[in-house]
Structure 1
Amino acid sequence: MAVYVYAITAASHPLRLDGVTGVGEPPEKLRTVNSRSLAAVVSDAPDGLRAKRRDVLAHEAVLERLMAEGSVLPLRFGAVTSDDQAVLQVLDERAASYQERLTALDGCVEFHLKASCDEDALLREILLQSPEAHQLNEQIRSGRAGPDLQIALGERVAGEVQLRHESFAAGAVEALRPLARDIRASDPKGGDFVSVSFLVDKARQEGFTAAEQDLANERGADFDFRLHGPLPPYSFVEAT
């Protein structure tokens, strides 16, 4: 039977799982796979598992219970392997790496920040502040410009947007970096200019969320900041 893996902990973790059940309908019973220094919390993997609300919440409930009593390496929803022996083999082969990450993540949660800015407001700013873009725009508006100038303006604006996005992202990260133990950046999607995860000590999470709110207020209504968390530290399970 395939095995669903929720998390990895130290063998000394209390692993009190009473009252918590796993994914599946009916819910699968939780158990542990133990090596000399580590433990993995697992269950049988139900057939045809999909990210239904009940199963996602069951996965999160297991992680929350474990995190309340010690350091955890959380696996994302849907981690399945062949059997308990495969789990044990990975625990043995990667013992040193997993123990290092458990120490690094002890007492921490993850916050993920995404942010975007209003495109029309940014365009107006560029046309006001960039002499080259302003001049090209005025020539086009006069009706005497050909398609080459329109292409040139588009390229100039695209370059200015990129520069401003990079500046906005750097400013956001630097404002919050002092309150984080570690940072993991990913490529922003859609209209976002930043997508970054912060590893934050639980004792500092209120200060972190307050700093993010200050940053959002400082940027103003043209910016949309979305902070998700506290979360299990999924982005920090692997060492860089």
Structure 2
Amino acid sequence: MSATSDELRYVYAVCRPLDAPLAADLTGVGGVPPRQLHHEGLVALVGPVPARDFAEEPLRAHLENLDWLSETARAHQRVIGALASVTCPLPLRLATVFRDDSGVRAMLEEGAERFWRILDRIDGCVEWGVKVHLESADSSDKYSSDNRSSGNHSSDKQTSATAGATSEKPLSGRDYLRRRRQQRTAQEEGWQRAEAFAQRLHEELSRHADDSRLHAPQNSSLSHTPGRNILNAAYLVPRAHSEEFVELVDGTKDEDTAGLTVELTGPWAAYSFTGDDAESGGGAGRSR
């Protein structure tokens, strides 16, 4: 298929030849169905996109447009998700484009060794994401309070009543500083407990995964998740063991995690394990 001067090739992922067809109604960027481009045993999933949007200059401008970026990312993920349901793909970066099919084939040929190495590593696996959040600092005393975590509501009422009775009395400088020290101590203890819990959880989950990856904590204002992100990790898990892995994460609900939220996402294509730097791993994995 030859390309026209106003058309480029958008590449979603690289994979092995598919054992099952993709959904007939699957569409990608621009509402166009993706197609398979074969080259020496590898497959690139590609689709045509207009140069007016994806050539270097207009693409740079579009990437500053959050609405355009969000729409493109959803279309990209839609194709990757469909592909992950029938194989273990190596997803490429958002907006990876080439001039024509020849450029895509050249990419497959030049990167063949790396592609095969990564495809072998992620074969039969999916990615699960686990995040641990600590409630916001202004309520961290709730996390560290023995009374509240044990459900002692009468103590809470007494404290509230006492606070109400004394709220009109001005604090002395000494009392103010003492309260501030108590608040900081409670906050620090809450963070330490949360970090210790997150470390234990990560070590346990890593033992049940082929590989793990620690990502930088997310900014709550960007993720729209309240509280402080203590753990942001990804785990490469064989599909056959995914149910066991999910049950392991769900089991944290039976632990003393007052003030903490454990969030599980997935299964995804192995986004976090498709770079060469992932070969060093982020934790101990199971032997296969």
- Give your verdict on TM over 0.5: yes
Residues 61, 152 of structure 1: alpha-carbon distance in 2 compared, 3 angstrom cutoff? closer
Could you tell me which residue of structure 2 aligns to residue 3 of structure 1? 9
1:166 is displaced (CA, Å) by 3.0
Could you tell me which residue of structure 1 aligns to residue 49 of structure 2? 45
Could you tell me which residue of structure 1 aligns to residue 24 of structure 2? 19
Residues 41, 91 of structure 1: alpha-carbon distance in 2 compared, 3 angstrom cutoff? same
Pairs aligned (count) = 219
Could you tell me which residue of structure 1 aligns to residue 57 of structure 2? none
| Cα contact 1:183–1:197 (8 A) shared by 2 | yes
> C-alpha distance in 1, partners of 2:141/2:41?
56
Superposition RMSD in Å:
3.1
SS at match of 1:120: helix
Correspondence 1:62-211 to 2 at 5 A: 62-75=79-92, 78-84=94-100, 85-118=102-135, 119-122=140-143, 124=145, 143=172, 145=174, 160=189, 163-189=192-218, 190=220, 191-211=228-248
TM-score under structure 1 length normalisation = 0.75
Residues 3, 51 of structure 1: alpha-carbon distance in 2 compared, 3 angstrom cutoff? farther
Residues 156, 2 of structure 1: alpha-carbon distance in 2 compared, 3 angstrom cutoff? farther
Residues 187, 154 of structure 1: alpha-carbon distance in 2 compared, 3 angstrom cutoff? farther
Q: Is 1:223 aligned with 2:239?
A: no
Higher Rg: 2
> C-alpha distance in 1, partners of 2:103/2:175?
66
| Cα contact 2:12–2:45 (8 A) shared by 1 | yes
> C-alpha distance in 2, partners of 1:158/1:92?
54
> C-alpha distance in 2, partners of 1:207/1:158?
34
CA deviations on 1:148-176 (whole Å, 9 max, x unpaired) are: 98998787667655543431221111221
SS at match of 1:2: strand
Residues 156, 52 of structure 1: alpha-carbon distance in 2 compared, 3 angstrom cutoff? same
1:124 is displaced (CA, Å) by 4.3
Residues 157, 222 of structure 1: alpha-carbon distance in 2 compared, 3 angstrom cutoff? closer
| Cα contact 1:216–1:224 (8 A) shared by 2 | no
SS at match of 1:230: strand
Residues 175, 31 of structure 1: alpha-carbon distance in 2 compared, 3 angstrom cutoff? same
Structure 2 unpaired stretches of 5+:
1-6, 54-61, 63-67, 147-170, 221-227, 279-288
CA deviations on 1:40-79 (whole Å, 9 max, x unpaired) are: 10101253653229x72x4444334433333311235x33
> C-alpha distance in 1, partners of 2:181/2:109?
59
TM-score under structure 2 length normalisation = 0.64
Question: In percent, how many aligned pairs have the same letter?
Answer: 26
Structure 1 unpaired stretches of 5+:
126-141
CA deviations on 1:1-39 (whole Å, 9 max, x unpaired) are: 2322211012x43473460433245x2132233332322
> Which amino acid in structure 2 is aligned with residue 92 of structure 1?
E
> C-alpha distance in 1, partners of 2:263/2:23?
35
> C-alpha distance in 2, partners of 1:41/1:176?
32
